[in-house]
Amino acid sequence: MTKEPLIKLEGVSKHYVKNKMSIDIFDELDLVIRENEFVAVMGPSGSGKTTLLNLIGGIDRPTSGAITFGGERIDTFSESQLSKWRAANIGFIFQFYNLMPMLTAAQNVELPLLLTKLSKSKRAEHVKTALSIVELEDRAKFYPREMSGGQQQRVAIARAFISDPKVLLCDEPTGDLDRKTAEEILKILQLMVRDFGKTVIIVTHDPEAAKFASRKLYLDKGKFFERRAA
Amino acid sequence: MTYFRLLRKNLTRKKLRLFLTIFSIFTAFLIFGVLKTFDHALNAGVELAGADRLITTSKVSLIQPLPFAHYTKIKATEGVKNVTHASWFGGYYQEPKNFLASFAVDAESYLDIYPEIFIPEDQRTNFLANQRGVLVGEALVQQYNWKIGDTLPLISSIWTNQDGSRTWEFQVEGIFYDKEEQFDTRSLMFHYDYFNEGRAGARDSIGWLIIKTESPELNEAVSKAIDDQFANSPNETKTDTEAAFGKAFLEQFGNIGLIITSVVGAAFFTILLVAGNTMVLAVRERTNEIAVMKTLGFSNGRIFTLIVLEALLLVLLGGLPALGVSWFMVEALKSAVGGGLPPMALTPEILLQAIAYMLLLGFVTGGLPAFNAVRINVAAALGRKAI
């Protein structure tokens, strides 16, 4: 049975003005992403992959068109509405992990939970579970500088899903990792889709990484070309 | 983890910078605490001056004596309810460093005009009956362990006795208390008659007069009437309210208030730059992290609050210990100067004022970087805008 559309882009255009010149990223773009999909977005540099992720995550706004999430227009939200919406629905994973250097792994993972009403003990419980999912319970008290890139990315994944968002947006999550570690990270993302019902969208240059996705989108010259996994 | 822990972690990233900033703030508030206490002590007499009391001195100078006859004439002036007089003795106990604020007064009228001086009734009676009696302030008694009945030899740096010595002997007859914190108990007073008869020169002169008017509304008219009375005489007078007199007295030493305000102002201006610079740098270094926090769902308001609270915490970490150390310094200063200064105390008003300045400093130094943090473009900060 086909699942309900979770994210819908309708006629979305995005233009930047740089040095008084208008740069068109995409024009009248349409896209539907359903719940529990694992989507890889590929394309050449400058095709607008990251901008697409920013628009879906509500940290950038379209020049025109509509972006709906679960049937609700998010492109019309105010900044404070977007903050609340992001806290509840979106988890970001970045290429360079972006962990807080002065916080331990556990404290980094706990950070989004400060926005909830969970008690300290409940938060600690959640953190323990999240770290066990990414197999890093023994690194809970380690600082980012004391961990490898792969471990830091796993902490970042735990931080992204700890508040139970519907969608994980990953910008080149394996771009800074070796092949073996990259595969481990991608398997964790697959686990998120399979066992935890998350929708995962990754932007990648790496065709090997894209193979882990159930759906591949090629973005080029402002248009999508789609290929589904076998 | 708690928000407080997050603040603490952010604050302690660069420990040397934190220490230096806190130390600068500490120094500024230490200067504030001590100088404000000093200023307050100097101005205490002005602030607590009686509204219906006037002071008459020589028009030439405060130290120029007036003839005793002025006392009788002023007493008869319309609008005057009561008059007393006092003369500066300039005494010390045993050695010059034990300088004492000591006065020869017309005891009965002096105590009537200053009802805030509290003395047990029996001691008052004994003091009035004994011409060699001396009334000693509670603070001096505590400092020198004097007791009622003690013979108290005081040496005057101004007045010579008829026997050629500068030592005057008194007998402690009473201890006065500071019932309403309106009178300096680091002082003593004795009978003018004993002093006047005993001194070798300048007999029948007095230092200044204190006048109680029928009502504060009459102050101006009575002042004018008194000064007009002695105009063009060899001993012209200058009459002011007690508050104005106190202020003029302090201004003999220069504008202490302005000096203190300038020093404190310079200290605060410096600290504003130091703490402000620390916060601006600290937030600029964290642009990327602030952007990440926004992607996690931290609202602009929450980020603004966290940065302002961080600045407040920084200022309080430097400022509050400084107030504690100020207290110790003031106590040490009190012991060192003895009776040479009015009573010094780090009053609740000074503490509240210091805390208000800390809050203001926190808001100002945290406000600008917090505002900048709110305006961070998440996509640009994460380096993700490059299409």
Domains of chain A: 5-228 (3.40.50.300)
Q: In this predicted structure, which of A170-184, B65-79, B228-242, B334-348 has the lowest mean pLDDT?
A: B334-348
pLDDT at B385: 41
Q: How confident is the model at residue B386 (pLDDT cuts 50, 70, 90)?
A: very low
> Does B363 fall in a domain?
yes
The per-residue pLDDT of chain B, averaged, comes to 86
CB B284 within 8 A of CB A99: no
What's the mean pLDDT in A126-147? 94
**B30 and B105: one domain?**
no
Question: Is A92–B387 a contact, with Cβ atoms under 8 angstroms apart?
Answer: no
**B105 and B218: one domain?**
yes
pLDDT at A59 over 70: yes
pLDDT at B30 over 70: yes
Interface of B with A in 177-216 (CB under 8 A): none
**B106 and B70: one domain?**
yes
B245: burial class by Cβ within 10 Å (0-12, 13-18, 19+)? buried
CB A150 within 8 A of CB A177: yes
Q: Does A123 touch chain B (CB under 8 A)?
A: yes
Q: Does A84 touch chain B (CB under 8 A)?
A: yes
pLDDT at B186: 82
Q: Does B129 touch chain A (CB under 8 A)?
A: no
Q: Where are the alpha helices (DSSP H) in chain B?
A: 3-11, 15-47, 69-75, 107-113, 121-129, 138-144, 192-198, 219-229, 242-251, 256-285, 287-296, 300-337, 348-374, 378-381
Q: What is the number of CB-based contacts under 8 A between chain A and chain B?
A: 92
**B231 and B274: one domain?**
no
Q: In this predicted structure, which of A211-225, B101-115, B340-354 has the lowest mean pLDDT?
A: B340-354
Q: In this predicted structure, which of A200-204, A220-224, B126-130, B264-268 has the lowest mean pLDDT?
A: A220-224
Q: Which amino acid is at B267?
A: A
Query: In terms of CA atoms, which chain B residue is nearest residue A90?
Result: B296
Q: Which amino acid is at A94?
A: F
B168-219: pLDDT as tens digits: 999 999 999 876 655 678 889 999 999 999 888 888 899 999 999 988 888 8
Q: Does A118 touch chain B (CB under 8 A)?
A: no
**B337 and B227: one domain?**
no
> Does B346 fall in a domain?
yes
B272-318: pLDDT as tens digits: 888 888 888 888 888 999 999 999 999 999 999 999 999 999 999 99
Q: Does B1 touch chain A (CB under 8 A)?
A: yes
Query: In terms of CA atoms, which chain B residue is nearest residue A52?
Result: B387
Of B289, B297, B299, the CB nearest to A100: B289
pLDDT at A77: 93
pLDDT at B384: 45
Q: What are phi and psi of A31, to 5 degrees?
A: -160, 140
Test the B interface: residue of A23, A61, A83 with most B CBs within 10 Å? A83
A148-179: pLDDT as tens digits: 999 999 999 999 999 999 999 999 998 888 88
**B26 and B78: one domain?**
no
Q: Can you say whether the dihedral through the CA atoms of A152, A154, A158, A159 is positive or negative?
A: positive
No. of helices (H) and no. of strands (E), chain A: 7, 10
B6 torsion bin: left (phi>0), alpha (psi -120 to 50), beta (else): alpha
pLDDT at B45: 58
Distance from CA of B11 to the nearest CA of A (A): 10
Q: What are phi and psi of A76, to 5 degrees?
A: -100, 0
**B134 and B268: one domain?**
no
Q: In this predicted structure, which of B4-8, B169-173, B379-383 has the lowest mean pLDDT?
A: B379-383
3-state class percentages of chain A: helix first, strand second, coil last, to nearest 5: 35, 30, 35
> Does B156 fall in a domain?
yes
Query: In terms of CA atoms, which chain A residue is nearest residue B4?
Result: A114
Global confidence as pTM: 0.72
Q: Does A22 touch chain B (CB under 8 A)?
A: no
Measured from the Cβ of residue B4, the count of other Cβ atoms closer than 10 Å reads: 10
Q: In this predicted structure, which of A189-198, B148-157, B372-381 has the lowest mean pLDDT?
A: B372-381
pLDDT at B139: 85
Number of domains in chain B: 2
> Does B17 fall in a domain?
yes
What's the mean pLDDT in A5-33? 87
Q: Which amino acid is at A2?
A: T
Q: Does B3 touch chain A (CB under 8 A)?
A: yes
Quick one: what percent of chain B has pLDDT higher than 70? 91
Measured from the Cβ of residue B204, the count of other Cβ atoms closer than 10 Å reads: 10
- Partners of residue B376 in chain A, C-beta under 8 Å: none
Query: By C-alpha distance, which of B89, B39, B49, B75 is closest to B253?
Result: B39
- Partners of residue B302 in chain A, C-beta under 8 Å: 83, 115
CB A133 within 8 A of CB A21: no
Q: How confident is the model at residue B337 (pLDDT cuts 50, 70, 90)?
A: low
Q: Give the separation between CA B59 and CA B46, rounded to whole angstroms.
A: 20
pLDDT at B339 over 60: no
Question: Is A83–B298 a contact, with Cβ atoms under 8 angstroms apart?
Answer: yes
**B32 and B176: one domain?**
no
**B200 and B273: one domain?**
no
pLDDT at B295: 92
Q: How confident is the model at residue B336 (pLDDT cuts 50, 70, 90)?
A: low
The domain of B361 spans: 3-45+255-381
Question: Is A59–B378 a contact, with Cβ atoms under 8 angstroms apart?
Answer: yes
Tokens (6 digits) for B381: 């900060």
- Partners of residue A175 in chain B, C-beta under 8 Å: none
Q: Does A173 touch chain B (CB under 8 A)?
A: no
**B110 and B33: one domain?**
no
**B213 and B111: one domain?**
yes
**B216 and B72: one domain?**
yes
The strand pairing partners of A167, in sequence order, are A90, A199
Quick one: what percent of chain A has pLDDT higher than 70? 96
> Does B191 fall in a domain?
yes
Q: Where are the alpha helices (DSSP H) in B64-206?
A: 69-75, 107-113, 121-129, 138-144, 192-198
Query: By C-alpha distance, which of A170, A161, A162 is closest to A209?
Result: A170
Query: In terms of CA atoms, which chain A residue is nearest residue B286?
Result: A100
pLDDT at B68 over 70: yes
